[in-house]
Amino acid sequence: MVMTVAAPGVYVFEEKLGPRTIEAVGTSVAALVGRVPLRGVAAGTPVPVNGWMEFRRRFADEDSSSTDLSNAAFGAFANGLRRLWVMPTEAGSEISDDDLRPLEGID
């Protein structure tokens, strides 16, 4: 509340009325399941990744070639996604509903 004195004995109190602005908050969470470029990464454990450079540091090296999952991660971050869960799988394995259970507990 702001008080201004316009004249002796006259006091004006200004109050902000109306709704307060609501700031936008991201509500989407993406998860990618599949083969990552780097071999030897533990499969079946979801890992949070907060950017393309972090993805490369965790799941790729200079000698690795891209995979469908790494291409999807690059595209997601290039289009503004800020956080992504990556769950590596074994090369050539089929993904079943049971394989996706570790993702159920993630908000």
* Residue at 4 is within a domain: no
The number of domains in the chain is 1
* Residue at 1 is within a domain: no
Could you tell me which residues come within 8 angstroms of residue 92 by beta carbon, excluding any fewer than 6 positions away? 35
Phi and psi torsions of 38, nearest 5°: -85, 130
Which tens digit of pLDDT belongs to each residue from 20-62? 777 777 667 799 999 999 988 999 999 999 999 999 999 998 8
Cβ pair 89, 35 in contact under 8 A? yes
| Range 58-61 contact pairs with CB under 8 angstroms and sequence separation of 24 or more | 58/86, 59/86, 59/88, 60/36, 61/37
Instruction: Give mean pLDDT, residues 7-14.
Output: 75
- At 15, is the pLDDT very low, low, confident or very high (cuts 50, 70, 90)? confident
* Residue at 12 is within a domain: no
* Residue at 72 is within a domain: yes
> Which runs of E-coded beta strand occur in 1-107?
2-7, 10-14, 30-34, 47-49, 84-88
Parent domain of 91: 20-103
What's the pLDDT score for residue 53? Answer: 95
Which tens digit of pLDDT belongs to each residue from 52-106? 999 999 999 888 899 999 999 999 999 999 999 999 998 888 888 988 999 998 8
* Residue at 8 is within a domain: no
